[in-house]
Amino acid sequence: MCALPICGNGGGGGGNTVSLGKAGNYVILAETGVSAVPTSAVTGNIGISPYAASFITGFALTADASNVFSTSSQVTGQVYASDYAPPTPANLTTAIADMQTAFTDASGRAPGVTELGAGNIGGMTLTAGVYKWGTGLYIPTDLTLSGSANDVWIFEIAQNLTMASATKIILSGGALPKNIFWQVSGLVDLGTTSHFEGVVMSQTAIILHTGSSVNGRLLAQSAVSIDGSTVVQP
């Protein structure tokens, strides 16, 4: 057990990072839908597969002449869908498979800490490592992740991940969002004006409520929904 509110027994830096493969080419990647309530701001590419471009809503897409991708005033990057021209369908099939592989990899890492805070980690400072919960995880107040630019955090969550409104994840000591992985078997629900850091890998859906922001990636095995939100790739 670790001494609260600071936990330093997460597993010696979390071991190796989780490889995203071709899924790392996207800041938002989903299988069944990507929706936005304007005006949102996304920095990075968006992809959906096997569902078609018609399941990307709220972005006012403009197809490129090549029909390989689309653009949007809300996206600094490109938008890809499974019904676009080659090589997009094959690229997305690979990315989705890599997303699923990354999820399985993260879920299988040996934890250094289990059931921390009985599923409530608000107000804590966590050093790098692997943390696991057999329940949902709730972040009701600001959470700090403290470590170097080389440290890795992996959070294995068996149910939902819920973050309260106006709550922040704070990085200190040089910690980087690209090295923070949230493997969630349930729903990810980020409250109004909350701020989140890291790569989210959800087996179901990811929902960002009004004014929320993410530095990281949103990788969902169903749908991603954002509402006047900001999502920036690490």
Q: What pLDDT sits at residue 4?
A: 46
pLDDT of residue 8: 55
Q: Name the residue among 105, 123, 67, 128 with its Cα closest to residue 219.
A: 105
pLDDT at residue 9, rounded to an integer: 52
Residue range 149-201, pLDDT digits in tens: 999 999 999 999 999 999 999 999 999 999 999 999 999 999 999 999 999 99
Model confidence pLDDT, tens digit, residues 101-139: 999 999 999 999 999 999 999 999 999 999 999 999 999
Total-model pTM: 0.95
Half-sphere exposure of 228 (CA within 13 A, CB side): 7
What's the chain's average pLDDT? 95
The percent of residues in the chain predicted with pLDDT above 70, rounded, is: 94
Mean pLDDT of 63-77: 98
The pLDDT assigned to 206 comes to: 98
Give the CA distances from residue 231 to residues 47, 78, 99, 212, 217, in Å, rounded to whole numbers and listed in that order.
14, 14, 18, 9, 8
